[in-house]
Amino acid sequence: MPFGEVVCGAPGSGKSTYCYGKHQLFTALQRPISIVNLDPANDSLPYPCAIDISELITLHDVMDKFGLGPNGAMLYCMEYLEANYDWLEEKLKELGGDAYVLFDLPGQVELSTNHESMKHIVEKLTKSGFRLAAVHLCDAHYITDASKYISILLLSLRAMLQLELPHINVLSKIDLLGQYGDLEFNLDFYTEVQDLSYLANSLSSSLPPRFAALNMAMISLVEDFSLVGFETLAVEDKSSMLNLTRAIDRANGYVFTPKPVPGNPSGPPDTVDASNLPPSARPNTYALFSSAAGPLKGPGAHARDIQERWIDEKEAYDAFERREWRKEGEMIRDAEARRKASEDVAKKQESTEKQSGGIRIRERKVPQKEKSDIQMDVLEG
């Protein structure tokens, strides 16, 4: 059974960059991954694309044919894709039944918050066997302003209610957050969406007093649903990508079907033999009970660690990483030099053997006792 992610978010939130980084990470981890571009306006893809909607329809063709603007043409393209879902279904079947697919959505937020076509496409994907999780990216700099933070909370909540998928909200570009000044609260206040009433003063200072009741109503709306929370992402940082990948794997269920341990394909006694099944269909009880409800562990898994790394002590951590990279580079160069030296010695020895007709003359080792007798004979002589 295939797994996947529906990657959505506002323009500039880093969706395509995230897909490219995920492709690099999974390639290094030797995990299968395929990326589907569902943005008919994206003609410069940074990642290798397995399926491209531009083969079916493009935004410019729709604008030229019907005289629509960019937003109207985008909605038409999504409706056209919904009407021709069989094209997408056939393309996905070619990827195999054990694929991991990233669906890169357009940046128009109404597609994941209001418009029905994307919702219907997601429903069809789910019915066809895909285990999907929605990954909603929001630029991290929005949390530096109270009103912008409330706006992304409402946007994330609306996307969660619309798509009806296991949902991971992500504050992307967290490594650039320090450029926008100090935060009013610690990072965990924003990622865990704690008591939003503390933002009332900030909202009142930036808006006229007549909006005070509206501000509190929006805060109450988010808190009443109590659904929104955020992970963080620095796409160029391996630890950050791995932490987010673990969270997504738990959301879509991939964590419960890992690859079998080499040499031990069988499961516990009195269980169904699933050794011949593909990884996506193989049960894993240990993963179910050990990681389903437990907190994420490891470096950078907690918001306080992330704040220390990317906000409070970013320069110190960057300097430390540069030193570690330099040491790693020196170790690689030394290992390469030793390998090259050993190859040169082997080539030189081989050349010497060829010059001597392939005969190797070894020096006879004289035992210590025999060597002493020879020395005595020489002295007596």
Cα-based torsion angle of the residue sequence 51, 88, 3, 268 in order, rounded to the nearest 10 degrees: -120
Contact (Cβ atoms closer than 8 angstroms) between residue 303 and residue 277: no
Give the chain's end-to-end CA distance (angstroms, integer).
91
| CATH topology for the 3-193+228-312 domain | Rossmann fold (3.40.50)
Element (H, E) at 235: none
315 vs 327: CA distance, rounded Å: 18
25 vs 30: CA distance, rounded Å: 9
pLDDT value, residue 381: 52
How many CB atoms are closer than 10 A to CB 91? 17
206 Cβ neighbours under 8 A, 6+ residues apart: 145, 146, 147
Nearest to 237 by CA among 181, 167, 338, 317: 317
Give me 341's structure tokens: 């030296």
Task: Provide the residue ranges of all domains of the chain, joining segments of one domain with +.
Answer: 3-193+228-312, 314-350
Cα-based torsion angle of the residue sequence 73, 79, 82, 83 in order, rounded to the nearest 10 degrees: -110
Contact (Cβ atoms closer than 8 angstroms) between residue 218 and residue 4: no
How far is residue 197 from each of residues 10, 65, 109, measured CA to CA in Å?
26, 50, 27
How many CB atoms are closer than 10 A to CB 62? 21
Nearest to 145 by CA among 197, 212, 186, 206: 206
Using the structure block, give the residue that is written with the tokens 């009443």: 224
Write the DSSP string, 27-85. HHHT---EEEE--TT----SS--SEEGGGT--HHHHHHHH---HHHHHHHHHHHHHHTH
Most distant CA pair in the chain, distance: 121
pLDDT by residue for the chain (381 residues), tens only, comes to: 799 999 999 998 999 999 999 999 999 988 999 999 999 998 888 899 999 999 999 999 999 999 999 999 999 999 999 999 999 999 999 998 888 999 999 999 999 999 999 999 999 999 999 999 999 999 999 999 999 999 999 999 999 999 999 999 999 999 999 888 888 999 999 999 988 989 888 888 877 888 888 889 999 999 999 999 999 999 999 999 999 999 999 999 888 775 544 444 444 444 455 556 666 555 555 555 555 556 666 666 788 888 888 888 888 988 988 898 899 899 999 999 999 998 888 888 887 777 766 555 455 555 555 556 555 554 555
Within 13 Å and on the Cβ side, how many CA atoms surround 96?
A: 10
238 vs 100: CA distance, rounded Å: 20
Three-class secondary structure of residue 305 per DSSP: helix
CA–CA–CA angle 267, 271, 273 (5° rounding):
65
The alpha carbon dihedral of 201, 206, 211, 216 has a sign of negative
Give me 216's structure tokens: 């509190």
